[in-house]
A and B are shown apart, each in its own frame.
Chain A
Amino acid sequence: MELVRTENLCLAFGGIVVADNINFSLQEGERLAVIGANGAGKTTFINIVTGYLRARSGRIFFSGTDVTKMPPRGIVHLGLGRSFQLPQLFLQHTVRQCLELAAVGRIGSLPLLKSLSASVDQSEIDHTLEVTGLAARGEEMASALGEGERKLLDIAMALVLRPKLLIMDEPTSGVASEEKHEIMATIMSALAERKVTSWFVEHDVDVVTRHATRVAAWISGRIAADGKPEQVFADPEIRRQVLGTH
């Protein structure tokens, strides 16, 4: 079924158009890779879809519900997880506590007295630590993690919410290229195991071709090309503008 649909989504900051009348749709089970130069509007689009930014016009649906005016937390409860280009962690908590918080989040904002005794399924957290390869770091402070591990923790927190769709903003940026594949592999297997639809921003063509079933190429606030990786990468315009190769 259809997970995300946007209708005529528009947004501009000052003069710059960051979302130019976007009609976009994402089906359950897809693995979408988003490519495009910096400032093309990839992250902005994610921010709009996840409710962090308000579109000037247009509508957004998530698994059938109109979420145009919903704050992120509302959409999250409908089953949308998100990770960030700069990992958004609780640096003064331990890795496990971060995931525990995510678990609490899934229960939802509790009334005060309930939350005093709210308990969390640790086995779930242990499992998530396993699949994201953070099992060994559970008791470390999040601030002690390396860049790659931070990315993983960022994603692990999203996973604990058991999302239908996980949007990952450059999950491998700032990671040494030899690590990239390994990290992507870990993530994708974790997602596959839970049948989570994925949508990730990625620059590395290899990574994209290896993990994506669909590619959307962004140019200045528009989706310039959308389709199977081989098709999109075949398009010379895309090669020039997005990948900067000939």
Chain B
Amino acid sequence: MIAGILSLIGAAVCLVLGLVFPWMKVPIIVGLSYGLAALGVAVLMRAGQVSFGHAMYSCVAGYTVAFLSRAYPALDGLLLVLAGIVAALVAGAIIGLFVVRYREIFFGMLNLALSMVLYSVLGKFYEITGGTDGLRLERPPFAGLRLDRPGYETALLVTALLASLALGTLVQRYFGSAAGEALAGIKTNETRLEYLGMSARRILWNGYMISAGLCGLAGALVVLLQGLVTPELGYWVRSGEFVFIAILGGSAHALGAFIGAVVFQVIQLVGTMLLAGTWKMLLGATLIIVILVAPTGITGVLPIKRWSRSRERKLSLQPVTGKS
């Protein structure tokens, strides 16, 4: 429950900051989208799998949003977000069928390769995709309202916050659920899963869809925010940043991804102020330190892990009869 309260406080803080300092809205929305994407990556990390190509689902969703909105400028922002998620889910479902047969480095690399295919194709077919400069889209109506920029951004901010809260809770519930436990089982012992009558691939496929959907949502939000989508959204370095955040936050608790995202944004802000062009140095250093010092990430070392464990149990496997 403490985790829940923490996230609510966090959400409130974001909202206040965004309303008081208008320029903060953009970094906060970007940060939340990173958090959502990293949450997706963290889901797979539960199964011990790390994808270095999940930015491709942000990209799929982003371009879906752009294409739709350019075709039907009157389409509502919320619908566009939904469309983006659906596109990512569909892509995830299809690609998932193939990649769930792979593990560890091969899993990571195949995802990487697929994302690079998408990245290169989007960059190439200029007439359709606008090439590496991507596609611009006009500000769509949002939740039925025609908003000017400040209002529009606030709306996006609120949407991002609510989505993060809701999905964070859902994913946390999933972690605790039967499917989630089985997912974690893939990390430790697939043979046993098989001998318990479960299909590791199917379980991983479910997790893969979830992660794709989350990355899709993240992409859709960013694209609506900047009114522009470019292949960069799917470049492997961005996937790497998702992984970075997920590792930083740890996959012990859904909250981790968002904590990681905050740290990431702070590093970027501080970095660009101190080191100008060479801020990525800080990222690298942080990543290495985290892996050396706390490979399980922030939520892995914080007591929050224990709360969530006890919480998972209550959430998921309620006794039908008798004691727990």
With both beta carbons as reference points, the residue of chain B lying nearest to A105 in the complex is identified as B196
Q: Is A122 within 8 A of B195, CB to CB?
A: no
**B177 and A118 contact, CB distance less than 8 A:** yes
- Dominant SS among interface residues on chain B: helix
Q: Identify which of B191, B195, B197, B324 contacts A108 (C-beta below 8 A).
A: B197
How distant is A122 from chain B, measured CB to nearest CB, in Å? 4
Q: B191 and A88: CB pair below 8 A?
A: yes
Asked if A110 is at the interface of the complex by the 8 Å CB criterion, the answer is yes
A228 within 8 A of B: no
What's the Cα separation between A162 and B317 when bound, in Å?
19
- From known contacts A92-B184, A100-B181, A109-B202, infer whether A157 and B323 are also in contact, taking CB-CB under 8 Å: no
Which of A50, A101, A109, A122 is close to B185, meaning CB atoms less than 8 Å apart?
Answer: A101
Residues in A with CB closer than 8 Å to B173 are 116
The 8 Å CB contact of A105, one of B198, B206, B320, is B198
Chain A, 155-202, CB within 8 A of any chain B CB: 157-158, 161
B197→A92 contact, CB < 8 A:
no
Q: Mark A102-120, 1 if CB is under 8 A from B, else 0.
A: 1011111110100111111
Residues of A within 8 A of B316 (CB): 118
**1/0 contact trace for A81-94 toward B, CB 8 Å?**
11010001111110
**Chain A residues, Cβ within 8 Å of B120:** none
Q: Which of A35-43, A72-80, A232-240 touches B?
A: A72-80
Interface: A121 (CB within 8 A): yes
Cβ-closest chain A residue relative to B205: A112
> Which single residue of chain B is at the shortest CB-CB distance from A122?
B319
| B322-A123 in contact (CB<8A) | yes
- Determine how close the nearest CB of chain B comes to the CB of A71; give it in whole angstroms: 7
Determine the distance from Cα of A101 to Cα of B185 in the docked complex, in whole angstroms.
Answer: 9
- Chain B residues near A50 (CB-CB < 8 A): 195
Pair B197/A76 contact, Cβ less than 8 Å: yes
Task: Report the minimal beta-carbon distance from B40 to chain A, rounded to whole angstroms.
Answer: 15
Check if A97 is an interface residue, CB within 8 A of chain B.
yes
**Per-residue interface assignment for chain B, residues 190 to 201, with 1 indicating a CB less than 8 Å from any chain A CB and 0 otherwise:** 011111111100
Known A73-B194, A122-B324: A93·B179 in contact at CB below 8 Å: no
B305-319 vs A, CB cutoff 8 Å, 1 = contact: the mask equals 000000000001111
B192 touches A89 (CB 8 A): yes
**Is B321 in contact with chain A by the CB < 8 A criterion?**
yes
Interface residue tally on A, bucketed by range: 35 or more
Report A-chain residues with C-beta under 8 Å of the C-beta of B198: 73, 104-105, 108-109
Alpha-carbon distance between A109 and B196 when the two chains are bound, in angstroms = 10
Q: Establish whether residues B181 and A119, one from each chain, have CB atoms under 8 Å apart when the complex forms.
A: no
Closest residue of chain B to A87, judged by CB? B192
Specify which of B182, B189, B209 lies most central, judged by the most chain A CB atoms within 10 Å of its CB.
B189
Are B188 and A93 touching (Cβ within 8 A)?
Answer: yes
Known contacts A89-B189, A92-B187, A109-B199: A101-B194 contact under CB 8 Å: no
* A126 interface residue (CB < 8 Å to B): yes
- B219 CB to closest chain A CB (Å) equals 22
Residues from chain B with a CB closer than 8 A to the CB of A100 are 178, 181, 317
Q: Check: B122 CB closer than 8 A to any chain A CB.
A: no
User: Of B191, B196, B209, which is in contact with the most chain A CB atoms at under 10 Å from its CB?
Assistant: B196
Closest to B196 in A: A105
B320 touches A119 (CB 8 A): yes
> Could you tell me if A115 and B179 are in contact, using CB atoms closer than 8 angstroms?
yes
Q: Which residues of B contact A52 (CB under 8 A)?
A: 191, 194
Are A119 and B197 touching (Cβ within 8 A)?
no
Q: A118 to B322: give the CA distance in the assembly, Å.
A: 17
Query: What is the bound-complex CA distance between A107 and B187, given in angstroms?
Result: 21
Known: A76-B197, A90-B185. Is A110-B321 also a contact (CB below 8 A)?
no
Q: Give the CA-CA distance A158 to B174 in the complex, in Å.
A: 25
Residue of B nearest to A160 (CB): B196
Closest beta carbon of chain B to A171's beta carbon, Å? 15
Quick check: A91 and B188 within 8 Å, CB to CB?
A: yes
Chain A contacts for B318, CB-based, 8 A: 119
Least distance between A194 CB and chain B CB atoms (Å): 17
* B203 in the interface (beta carbon within 8 A): yes
Nearest residue (CB) in B for A82 is B195
Residues facing A in B130-187 (CB within 8 A) are 173-174, 177-179, 181-182, 184-185, 187
Distance from A231 Cβ to chain B, minimum over Cβ atoms (Å)? 33
Judging by beta carbons under 8 Å apart, are A118 and B178 in contact? yes
Contacting pair B199 A72 (CB below 8 A) = no
Docked-complex contact A112 and B206, CB < 8 angstroms? yes
With A101-B181, A115-B179: A122-B192 Cβ-Cβ less than 8 Å: no
Assess whether B195 is in contact with A93, with CB atoms less than 8 Å apart: no
Indicate if the CB atoms of B188 and A117 lie closer than 8 Å.
Answer: no
Q: Which of B185, B191, B202, B320 contacts A121 (CB 8 A)?
A: B320
Q: Decide: A122 near B323, CB < 8 A? Known: A93-B185, A100-B181.
A: yes
Q: List 16 A-B contacts (CB under 8 A).
A: A71-B199, A76-B194, A76-B195, A88-B191, A88-B192, A91-B188, A100-B178, A104-B182, A108-B198, A109-B203, A115-B178, A116-B174, A119-B318, A122-B320, A122-B324, A123-B321
**Contacts A73-B196, A100-B181 known; 15 new A-B pairs at CB < 8 A:** A52-B191, A88-B189, A88-B195, A89-B189, A90-B184, A90-B189, A90-B192, A91-B188, A101-B185, A112-B210, A119-B319, A120-B178, A122-B317, A122-B319, A123-B321
